Structure 1
């Protein structure tokens, strides 16, 4: 029996999940133990960390994200190089924590999300692009890797996002209480879990910009990586025309969103609008925050009347923005708005945990795409398998020509 056959036959799996979010600031890693149960898998989080990107790597990624024109050779090399980077990061993390896992589940870094159907080779198709070749990760770590989770959903007619509502159902679904989970990453998304509901009862989707526009404004207008705690937004006054511009851009998308909808071109138009109204830089950031909170409220409004709704739980980096949280509390009142830590989970690691769980779903054959959320025609099993190369005792057959103790330069060229 080969290694993969042994993994598939196990009732308990230890999985390392990896995710680089829309903000492209680092890699989140989470190790889980997944036990296949009679009705649904049991999940225990064992360890986790966030490893920030170097300034050089972050700059290289930003050059690719959302670009309409990229050299094919550059993209192919970036896919392989970033996979090597992820593999080396995983190996160092596992070695330092002295952890052993059965496999790695890697989402990679989204650099383009194009769910809208357009003609290609005579067929109408959507697409999504995540950097980080699974075979490169497998070669660096010597472990099986499940990656490319969104393609199966798109191939089945969906938009490939969001994928985490099914995992949120496994983690946070309750028999007697309804819950809403809002992920405030680069793009904000939500999932609603009615009391005692099945996967078919879950509702969810993307809300609009999470941190994408506010981070862009902080960088270009204030030379800061982000608006820490909402301190800048707190000093500004929202401008209705700027808010309307964001809402208009959000209305053009389908079920899911990407940074392509909230890019530098939109930001330039928002600045132009603000200047016509004699708005300050702080007013622009305040307008973005107000629009973000308003679009989240608009998405959640149909579920706030649920008498068994316990709370709205926030995850992702945006939950640390006190000003945005206050605006959400005001919009969603009298519903409680709480950090996901209230339920015993680290909000910084939840997406890495989610992809670890999705990796386990791939191994055990559990479909994870939800038609009512992504638009897929059927519940697809997401992921593709990459196996590591066979190890040979002869030194001449070892991977590459690196000297022991040295790490290859995997900066994206």
Structure 2
């Protein structure tokens, strides 16, 4: 037998696996690297976060990624980036292993999300004659496997799309395994570039989880900050937005986009929620001259309103007061955004995901480690990801 296949078979039968989850989101702030011990699978799964590192991208790396996330990107640039991102991520894994005093042989699997370049669900691309969803992540899994020597599970979103789904969000598969409770209604809210949540009502036998995107979280806030405050990559803590005053007419125009009234579940990305979308609403409402801080304050309200509207659709009114919202992602550090969320969802209790034993910043990387664990060792109804041998 091929020794790599033999290794894969052995890993699948082990009582526990050490898996490194890699996550680089649409906010483009850096690569999250989570070393997890996954014991068992399915309902019996127990996950321990052994190590975590967040490796920031340089401004040059961020600009390179933004440049290839455009409709008119050259095929040469995209092809080169597919390998370059994988090499960058492989180097980050090797650095972390050295810092953690581990060898590649100590790791059973890599779980790589890759870098989303373009997300095109059917409702968004609206291409006649193409009734399918599509999505594209770069950071080739074969490069990762070959460069690290570790069996790699990658392209999770591609497999989701191949089975007829939209490719996002994927968090619900792992959220249900890790966080479902028979006694507490839980809503797991991730505030990354795009906001999404998984709703887990308190039931003794969980059914399929509702997972949905809600609209922008940080993507518009970060883009507006970079444009209007040169040298700042994001509004740290929401301090700039806190100075401003939301503009009601502009906020109403932004919320008039059909996405917000679309039924749940739904998915979107920065392809839709870009500065062009904001600029069009500003022209419509004659607000092109509002101050940068007022613009940021308005965009905070937009992110909070998108979450609040989706939560109110997903959670029955009678259950809202008994629901705890556990927040994670970069937006959880934005005090102005969190204050707006609590104001728009006054009856729910807001908490950090850390109350459930998972680092706020590590959660997404941990979730992909869980997905890889279930693909290799579990009996999921839908296996996600493709397996890349060294």
* Equivalent in the alignment of 2:113: 107
Question: Which range is displaced more, 118-127 or 304-313?
Answer: 118-127
Scaled by the length of structure 1, the TM-score of the pair is 0.86
Shift of 1:271: 4.2
Shift of 1:245: 2.8
Q: Matched residue pairs, number?
A: 376
Shift of 1:112: 0.4
**Superposition deviation, residue 272 in structure 1:** 3.5
Return the match for 1:351 from 355, 361, 364. Answer: 364
Paired residue for 1:375?
A: none
Q: Name segments (4+ residues, structure 1) moved above 6 Å.
A: 117-122
| Structure 1 residues 248-285: Cα deviation after superposition (integer angstroms, max 9, x where no partner) | 33348781011001113113224445654753221111
Distance 1:197 1:93 in 2: 39
Q: Does 2:19 match 1:6?
A: no
For structure 1, which runs of at least 5 residues remain unmatched after alignment?
Answer: 368-378, 389-413
Higher deviation after alignment, 295-304 or 267-276: 267-276
Query: 2:68, 2:77 within 8 Å by CA — same for their partners in 1?
Result: no
Report the secondary structure of 1:200's partner residue: coil
1:80 aligns with 2:83: yes
Superimposed CA distance per residue, residues 181-228 of structure 1 (whole angstroms, 9 cap, x where no aligned partner): 110000000111111254534222001000011111111112221111
The answer on 1:287 being equivalent to 2:298 is: yes
Once the two structures are overlaid, the 10-residue window that deviates more, 327-336 or 205-214, is 327-336
TM-score relative to the length of structure 2: 0.90
* CA–CA separation in structure 1 for the residues paired with 2:217 and 2:244: 19
TM-aligned CA distance change 1:34 to 1:292, over 3 Å: same
Tell me which of 315, 325, 338 is aligned to 1:325: 338
Larger mean Cα displacement after TM superposition, 213-222 or 278-287: 278-287
CA distance in structure 2 between the aligned counterparts of 1:274 and 1:189, rounded to whole angstroms:
28
For residue 242 of structure 1, the aligned residue among 234, 250, 256 is 250
Q: Aligned with 2:50: secondary structure?
A: strand
Partner of 2:385: 383
Q: Extract unaligned runs of 5+ from structure 2.
A: none
Q: Which residue of 1 aligns with 2:239?
A: 231
**In the alignment, is the contact (CA less than 8 A) between 1:274 and 1:284 conserved in 2?**
no
Displacement of 1:309 in angstroms is: 2.7
Summarize deviations over 1:284-307 as a string: whole Å, max 9, x none: 111111111111111111425317
Listed as ranges, the matches of 1:130-279 within 5 Å are 130-196=137-203, 198-223=205-230, 224-249=232-257, 250-251=259-260, 255-273=266-284, 276=287, 279=290
Backbone CA RMSD of aligned residues:
2.2
CA distance in 2, matches of 1:122, 1:270: 30
